Structure 1
Amino acid sequence: MKGRTLERIASVYDWLIVGAGFAGSVLAERIASQRDQSVLIIDRRPHIAGNAYDRHDDAGVLMHQYGPHIFHTNSDAIVDYLSQFTEWRKYEHRVLGRIDDKIVPIPINRTTINALYGLDLKSDEEAQTFLDSRAEPVEEIKTSEDVVVSKVGRELYEKFFKGYTTKQWGLDPSELDKSVTSRVPTRTNTDDRYFTDEHQVMPKHGYTRMFENILKHPNIKVMLNADYREVKDVIPHRRLIFTGPIDEFFDFRYGRLPYRSLRFEHVTHEQEQYQAVGTVNYPMTEAYTRISEYKHITGQKHHATTITYEYPSATGDPYYPIPRPENQTLYKRYQALANETENVHFVGRLATYRYYNMDQVVGQALAEFRRIQETVPLWTSPVNGKNHHADGELIMPDGARLLN
């Protein structure tokens, strides 16, 4: 068959899972280990782990291909689950920002205020009084601009939020839902950690190694460089889990859901350290939003270091659903189609058009598995006259490869 290759593997699968990121991989592992059913997980990229994919670059530095991914959560259950597949390295992420030619902590804290304004505020109360004196009353908080101006005033909004948010989203904060800037706190103490979650850890040997362990089960096969459109009709399967863009699944029937993307520029320097912390933000200057240095994050000892410049983009792989009311309205139309589609489960950031952290995606996947356990019976009947452990000729798209 022109443009196709034949591989001899299990020819019929209980589950086809589209996407080998957190959502798809966690569900593959749960289904394989807890239901003893066969899973084929496919990804159009040449690797597993989705956007969390990390690798050793040509210099030997462990880096994150799609920008820094920092694991943090308050959920003991999520850490316990992932601990089956990795050891952890404790890591508390710190971010600095270049503001008015000064390098100061982000999120804004008392140290930030003192450095910017030449003050010597010594208590939370003094810092709060300072912020209150600058805050501007907002009658109804609707937008990202409203959130910040009502807490810290327009000057700090302009310095820390307006430029960064406009670069990141391609929209003025006054055009974005309040949820965008609500994610970034303002502190009156001197805590300079970016996150305050109970668990702040990194996979000891990297994300990709953790994903390899998650997908190691004998009931799981992984196919890379494989697009769903090319395999859905040639790989018999009983049920589908889709973690890609929901609008793409339905052939953009109602139009495309808007996303922001990122372009990454990776640079290696022949020096042990490039900057003082894992990430430095540039809210006021530069075309990029931030520079990240991975050795802070991974703890790797190496004579060289690799950094990444992040440039927000309107085109490219979909990363961030754009939080505007009209986009949610469009998503709900696709969600209605999803609810009517039998034997298909939509899971993950792209399939549910939500901006999830990694731990939230894991939590969503585990919750979906519990629903599967409650509502999807174990089956024994064959598909197309074949049992799910049957061997046979499987038609694979040209260029696709089996990882295991």
Structure 2
Amino acid sequence: MACAESSGHLSVTAGDRAFFVGHVFRPVGSPSVNLAGYDLIVVGSGFFGLTVAERVATLLNKRVLVLERRNHLGGNAYSEAEPETGIEVHRYGAHLFHTSNKRVWEYVNQFTDFTNYQHRVFTIYRGQVYPMPINLAAISQFFGRYLTPGEARALIAEQASEIVDPTAAANHEEKGISLVGRPLYDAFFRGYTAKQWQTDPRELPASIVARLPVRFDFNNRYFNDTYEGLPVHGYTAWLEKMAGHPSVDVWLSTDFFDVRDEIPAGTPIVYTGPLDRYFDYSQGWLGWRTLDFESTVLPIGDFQGTSVMNYAEEEVPYTRIHEFRHFHPERDYPTDKTVVIREYSRFANKEDEPYYPINTPEDRAKLERYRELARREAAEHNVLFGGRLGTYQYLDMHMAIGSALSMFDNKLVPYFTESHTFGAAN
């Protein structure tokens, strides 16, 4: 196939490979492929990878190639219209943008406007619906009478007193009880956690539940960040605009490990794929949780009245149901159909999409060994590791973007402008 010049971007297919085309089209395996023509190669087109690519192209005037294993842009943030209803669906689970980082907020607003959506979550337990996180409404409803903030604090403190020293809570169950007391913990956390992690809560680290707020007022916003909303035209439109710089090319359906030998030695790489995969699992496989999704189009206008409903009881096999029409009430969606997606959690195998690092003590020991290998790779071969998969940590979208901006400032700018190596202390 001949090279095709383009001032914009479009999707094409060449053989079994699809490409998101920048100003030049170069099919993999064609004699016209010239990886030496790129100043930087980014592996992965999620928020971390695209932020790096966009900043390097825009501010440093460098040519960047992004390699994406999947057949679409955007990693787990990818969204698309469900064909029967036109309702925008987040294919890898609900993605809610929120941040208190002003720099990140100003950066993302270059590429999209945001709605005023504020996320709220509810939980079904024994046929009753409660707001989440635990707040004064949930506490009062659960105990069957209105409690003032002071009464609720006193009641929770009494019920949590079986954990003598909350700071010494050794596991998820102890920490949860120290936060909300045993009755609320058993109702809303024990079963949900057990099916989310397929692990006894007494064997999980306390940090999993420590980040859930408990509120003694009626605030039922899920997030407390300064800025919150959803991209007006959807995540894919936002991501395409980030990738729209004429010096950025994105190749879809292209596995880095299939083409890495074609990359000239010394070409700088930002790798956002699985850390253990890069090193051929030499230090062992890092454990992840994955998610399965069951999508259904229903012949009704509204299934559950809200965007996300959790199911607290362990006997219900799924953890939550998403109804995506509620993310964009401003849109003209059909009134006689809706899309619901049930979410199931399980341990990931090597063929699954990883979502949440399990982070057992064994995982952390392997991670330290991989980090040492990554430091050597940066110093010796100009490879940087970033993003959720590349660092083995859970990152919200704003955290991934913020981390990418820091890498740009601290590593990529010195590399391209001052001839620093990636291994330099800067």
Give the alignment's TM-score, normalised by structure 1: 0.90
Cα contact 1:41–1:222 (8 A) shared by 2 = yes
The correspondence of residues 317-356 of structure 1 with structure 2, limited to 5 A, is 317-341=353-377, 342=380, 343-356=382-395
Contact residue 117 and residue 230 of structure 2 kept, 8 A: yes
Whole-angstrom distance in 1 between the partners of 2:110 and 2:75: 19
Q: 1:322 to 1:181 in 2, by over 3 A?
A: same
* Distance in 2, Cα, partners of 1:196 & 1:264: 28
Aligned Cα root-mean-square deviation (Å): 1.8
AA in 2 matched with 1:162: R
Task: Please say if 1:73 is aligned against 2:109.
Answer: no
1:298 to 320, 328, 331: 328
Contact residue 23 and residue 365 of structure 1 kept, 8 A: yes
- The residue type equivalent to 1:273 in the other structure is D
**SS of equivalent residue, structure 1 residue 366:** helix
Q: Which runs of 5+ in 2 are unaligned?
A: 1-14, 17-27, 420-426
- Please give the alpha-carbon distance, in whole angstroms, between the structure 1 residues aligned to 2:137 and 2:409: 45
Within the alignment, does 1:203 sit opposite 2:234 as a pair?
no
Sort the Cα spacing of 1:85 and 1:9 in 2 relative to 1 into closer, same or farther, 3 A: farther
Q: Matched residue of 2:115: which SS? A: strand
Secondary structure in 2 matching 1:88: coil
Among candidates 157, 170, 179, match of residue 207 of structure 2: 179
Match of 1:84 in 2: 110
Aligned partners of 1:356 and 1:124: how far apart in 2? 33
Structure 1 SS opposite 2:202: helix
CA contact (8 A) 2:44 2:272 kept: yes
Which one of 399, 404, 419 corresponds to residue 360 of structure 1? 399
SS in 2 for 1:217: coil
Question: Higher relative contact order by CA 8 Å / sep ≥ 6: 1 or 2?
Answer: 1
Partners in 2 of 1:87 and 1:9 — Cα distance?
36
Contact 2:66–2:249 (Cα < 8 Å) also in 1: yes
1:255 aligns with 2:281: no
Aligned to 2:30: 6
SS at match of 1:89: coil
Greater strand fraction, Structure 1 or Structure 2? 1
Report what 1:18 is aligned to: 43
Asked whether the 8 Å contact 1:53–1:64 carries over to 2, the reply is yes
Aligned partner of 1:318: which letter?
P
What's 1:43 paired with? Answer: 68
Per the TM alignment, residue 143 of structure 1 is displaced from its structure 2 partner at its CA by 1.6
For residues 374 and 55 of structure 1, what CA distance do their matches in structure 2 show? 34
Is contact 1:295–1:301 with CA below 8 Å preserved after alignment? Answer: no
Per-residue CA distance 1:23-48 (angstroms, 9 max, x = gap)? 10000001111111111101110001
Contact 1:176–1:323 (CA under 8 A) maintained in structure 2: no
Q: Using structure 2 for the length normalisation, give the TM-score.
A: 0.85
Aligned length: 378
2:408 aligns with one of 369, 373, 386: 369
Q: Tell me the CA shift for residue 163 of structure 1.
A: 1.1
1:107-256 map, 5 Å: 107-121=133-147, 123-135=148-160, 136-139=162-165, 140-236=168-264, 238-256=267-285
Conserved 8 A contact 1:138-1:146: no
SS state at 2:261 partner: coil
Match of 1:28 in 2: 53
CA–CA separation in structure 1 for the residues paired with 2:332 and 2:129: 25
Question: Residue type of the partner of 2:367?
Answer: Y
The one-letter amino acid paired with 2:371 is Q
